[in-house]
Structure 1
Amino acid sequence: MARKGLARRVALAVALCIAGAAAPAVAGEAVREAFVTSQLADSVGVVDLATMKQVAEIAVTGKPAGIAMSPQRDFAYVTTPDGNGLVAIDTSARKVAWRLNVGKGPLGIAVNPRTGAVYVANWYGDEIVSVDPKAQQVTHRVKVGRAPSGIAVTEDGTTILSADRESDAISIIDATSFKRTGEIKVGEHPFGVAIEPGGRRAFAANVVSNDVSVIDLGARKVTATVKVGARPYGVAFANGNAFVTNQAARSLSVFRLSDLQPVTSIPVGDYPEGIQATSDGTAVYVACWGDNILQRIDTSTLKADAKAEVSDGPRAFGAFLR
């Protein structure tokens, strides 16, 4: 654990904002695989979800961190903070298709479900960039708050949210004009931001204040704050509940979306980070950095029921199920 502890400190110094909006997999389609970014291994592992075994490993230099799927899930887009890059992986061929320099310290990432545009948060550049994946070029840049981390996009593709960690705020960006149209103050150091099904509210995981800010997107204000475990990182939604990874507590906090009341705390592996729910809501998958595992949570029993060994330093920030 001494090596892991040192590596974690080094990784966090470079990538302290790797958290994100955990979008569900494509509605109506069964997920078969998980593409897990393993930062310390400089790779992306492919996990067969039926057997919970890592069946392939794709070399990706630059300390891969964030990940998002194209609307058709034929490409996985990966951020490489050490390489200032965006990497596109052909998910069927399981190989790198192209790379693009996008700016300083790219980490958070999301894809517009309507247009397919790829949005990347440049931590050191205090900006969000938009990439046209067909043209393989940056098309727009917009300044946001300090140290942007997680990104979320509304279901209709019109609005982008950026969790600006050092500004304790969420930036609102109009996806059409690509202009910043507002800012909402939240808790201390938001990492991940996620939009609940239906798009009425967003949830920001605040890693220092150990809580989740609930944002009314119509009113553009925080309407509630939910206390969770130590160092909350990412948020996912399933079966009417919110699931929050608590890095320092080795747990998931679960609370109801209807009244924001706590349901339970689920023990998981060491340093849980990336989290995503399946589209049918039956399972939630969690990447545990310290134990090098991907865990499955049964959302009916609210217990971890399977795990897969993955490569060193799994982050899996964003949408990683295919």
Structure 2
Amino acid sequence: MRQRSHNGLVILAAALSAAVVLGCWPAAAEPIATHPFSEALVTNQTGDSLSIVSLADMKSVAEIAISGNPAGIAMSPDRKYAFITSPESKELVVFDADTRQVAKRFNVGEGPLGVAAHPSNGLVYVADWYVHKISVVDPLAGKVVAQIAVGDSPSGLAVTPDGKSLLSADRDSDAVSIIDTATNARVKSIPVGKRPFGITIDAEGRRAYTANVASDDVSIIDIATGTVVGTVPVGHRPYAVALARGRAFVTNQYGSSLSVFDLDSLAPVKTIEIGDHPEGIMADATGANVYVACWFDNVLMRIDTDKLTVTGEAAVGDGPRAFGLFLR
């Protein structure tokens, strides 16, 4: 029987896989949104694997053993590497997306979950659920270079497009932390809804959207002022948010649905019925589609953002989470 945990960390025994030597990539790379995405890299937490899905035909083309209950994921700016958190083995896994091999893995604390990559300086940020800190990681060296104290049980992470600020959804503090990436200093804690989990920043770096699991709503933050400028009711147990074509798309875990609302008026647009227990969600580079991992159905679903209908699905591994940025 599959386990579903309240805090997002599923604890299962797992063995570590072998690692190969990691090559290097440029610290500054062309922005990820300038080229269309061709693949989805879906972390399968209870399956201890990573599914690779071709977006052209929505077919799973590979499933790679990862171990450690992989959950969170982020891509390097050049899309060559995926950074994957494995909570059970307490590691960050660096995955070479071109060769489809694990390149490196190393300890990053006690409960790594959310992960985000800086757009230009080569660093990666990992939220540690248990020690209430964010680890600043040099993935080439395979080590933690700094730690930042935040609120309780940090979950989702996101970096502004200019790389100046890191935002952390501090779930058990009902708050979002803003961190100055130049100094690794926490500069503000912003009260939001109850139990914020996933967090997404818009392309302009102006607003952040956090899905609040326990209050069934989304808080909208003006990053410059550090204030909540709106709250939108959504479905039951919202998990994460994607932004596309002037709309927000929110996965409702217990509602088996997506809530869609307008970013300008904040008015509801539609509720879309999808697979069982939707979790990770991300929009493609054009905003024409969003992709959703459905935990209990073991599928990745594609939703047309204009028609607001499901247009495809791909079978993936067991317990897909895809928590973070998983398209390349």
Partner of 1:281 in structure 2?
A: 287
Which runs of no fewer than 5 residues in structure 2 stay unpaired?
Answer: 12-30
Q: Which residue of 2 aligns with 1:91?
A: 97
Letter in 2 for 1:125: V
2: distance between equivalents of 1:12 and 1:221? 27
Aligned to 2:118: 112
Report the AA paired with residue 193 of structure 2.
G
User: Match of 2:265?
Assistant: 259
Pick 1 or 2: higher relative contact order, CA cutoff 8 A, min separation 6. Answer: 1
Q: Is the 8 A contact 2:45 2:320 kept in 1?
A: yes
Residue 9 of structure 1: how far off its partner (Å): 3.8
Residues 164-217 of structure 1 show CA distances to partners (whole Å, capped at 9, x for unaligned) of 000000011110110111100000000011111211111111000000011111
Q: Which moved more, 1:110-119 or 1:59-68?
A: 110-119
Q: Cα gap change, 1:162/1:11 in structure 2, threshold over 3 Å: closer, same or farther? A: closer
Match of 2:315 among 293, 296, 309: 309
Structure 2 residue 45 is matched with structure 1 residue 39:
yes
How many Å separate the matches in 2 of 1:156 and 1:13?
A: 30
TM-score, structure 2 as length reference:
0.92
1:138 is aligned to 144
> How many pairs were matched up?
309
Tell me the TM-score normalized by structure 1.
Answer: 0.94
Which residues in structure 2 correspond to 1:1-322 (within 5 Å)?
3-4=1-2, 7-9=3-5, 12=8, 14=10, 26-322=32-328
Aligned to 2:22: none
How far apart are residue 241 of structure 1 and its match?
A: 0.4
Give the match's secondary structure for 1:244: strand
1:30-69 per-residue CA deviation (whole Å, 9 max, x = no partner) reads 1111000001110001111112111111111110000000
SS of alignment partner, residue 248 of structure 1: coil
Q: Is the 8 A contact 2:10 2:46 kept in 1?
A: no
Counterparts of 2:305 and 2:326 in 1: how far apart (Å)? 18
Q: CA deviation at 1:11?
A: 8.1
Distance apart, 1:134 and its partner CA:
2.0
Q: List per-residue Cα deviations over 1:210-233 (Å, max 9, x = no partner).
A: 000111111111111100000000
Contact 2:53–2:314 (CA<8 Å) still a contact in 1? yes
Between the aligned partners of 1:195 and 1:11, the Cα distance in structure 2 is 22
Give how far 1:13 is off.
5.6
Paired letter, 1:8:
R
Partner amino acid, structure 1, of 2:216: N
Q: Distance in 2 between matches of 1:216 and 1:12?
A: 27
1:20 maps to none
- Structure 1 unaligned residues grouped into runs of 5+: 16-24
